[in-house]
Each structure stands twice: as C-alpha cells, then as structure tokens.
Amino acid sequence: MKLIHSPLFEPVIWEGSGFKILNESSIPEKIEYIDVREITQALDAVREMKTRAFGQVLTFLYSAALLAQQYQGREPEPLREQLAQAAQHRRGARCTN
C-alpha cells in the first residue's frame, strides 16, 4: 500500500522568488495553488479564506520573508517598518482577529 501525502501538511510552499498557497476552498474537488509574488496577493488569499489556520500562519511568515527578499536597503529600520505595516494589514485581513 502506498501512502499518499496530504497537501494540507504543507499548505504554503516557497517557490523561486515567491511562494504558493494551497487553495483550501477547492479541496477535495481539486488541488490548486495561488502564486504569490506580492504581499497583496497573500493578504487577498487570507481575506478570501483560501487558506486557514496553519496556512494563514505560514502565509504571514512567508510574506515577511518575501518582503525581506525584496528589500533593497541596507538599514534595518525601513524593513522593520514594512514588516510592521504588513502585520497590521494581515490583522485586518482575517475575519476572526
């Protein structure tokens, strides 16, 4: 018997210069992912409940990593401010704050 790995064990996957989020609203009919290259795409996925629970936590962490990857400055303070803004926007995106 072959064991099948559930995509719910890894609902967010880093890929290239961004990441992809498992669209949990399409399960079990089909397995599809939402490509994220900008933070607004991640916020939309959370707002629209495309990912839940563990996926939302990973989406926030990967969004922070994406911001850090795209940051062009040398000083840490502007990046900290961007991360704080992203956290505020994420808080507003969840319907169950």
Return the pLDDT at 62.
Answer: 95
Q: What is the pLDDT of residue 94?
A: 56
- 33, β-bridge pairs: 22
The reported pTM is 0.81
Q: Which stretches of the chain score pLDDT less than 70?
A: 92-97
pLDDT of residue 6: 86
- In angstroms, what is the C-alpha Rg of the chain? 15
Write the CA distances from 67 to 19, 23, 40, integer angstroms: 12, 22, 11
d(CA 66, CA 7): 22
Token representation of residue 18: 């961004």
Q: What's the pLDDT at 83?
A: 87
19, with CB counted inside 10 A (0-12, 13-18, 19+), is buried
Spell out the domains of the chain, with CATH numbers in brackets. 10-93 (1.20.120.420)
